[in-house]
Amino acid sequence: MSARPSASTPIDAPIDVVWAVMLDSAAYGEWNPFVYKVECPSPAEVGDPIRLYVRWSNGKTTSSPERITVIEPPHEADGVVTAALSYEYEGLPDKLGLVHSVRHQRLRQAQGGPTQYDTVQELTGPMVRFAGPARIVDGFERHAAGLKQRSESLGRG
């Protein structure tokens, strides 16, 4: 079984500002209603462990051990600037082969346009339905809205 919960939003801020907000894990509690705390080395590097503290819409919380697999700072190709951050779930369900998960967060900005934020989580394994794809979408939408608000307020300042 597989699922691909996702969310996206245009952000009226330069890609460099959005990228900086995404990598400032110490400040997540100030703006992110979904991932309210992050434990990660700073600056983060590919291969680093990262622990995400998640608050579901019902108020319940959990933590999720992950490992950073991609950090691609903003770079230009053919007039479009892109950036990417990905991490892979390393919890017990993954170790037991029940649920494997990789989350991708991507930014894209054409010259003069807004920064497009997209996130998707690739879930595979026999227990995917118990991972709660619908509640993940809700969390991603709250995360995207918080990222938009924080980035746009910093972009104006």
pLDDT in tens, the chain (157 residues): 888 999 999 999 999 999 999 999 999 999 999 999 999 988 899 999 999 999 999 999 999 999 999 999 999 988 899 999 999 999 999 999 999 999 999 999 998 899 999 999 999 999 998 888 999 999 999 999 999 999 999 988 6
**Alpha carbon distance 67, 89 (integer Å):** 7
Residue 135 corresponds to which tokens in the numbers above?
């509640």
Q: Tell me what pLDDT residue 120 has.
A: 98
Give dist(CA 28, CA 46) in Å, integer: 20
Residues in the chain, overall count: 157
Domain assignments of the chain as residue spans, ordered by start: 2-156
Q: Which numeric CATH code is attached to 2-156?
A: 3.30.530.20
This prediction has a pTM of: 0.95
- Contact (CB, 8 A) for 44 and 25: yes
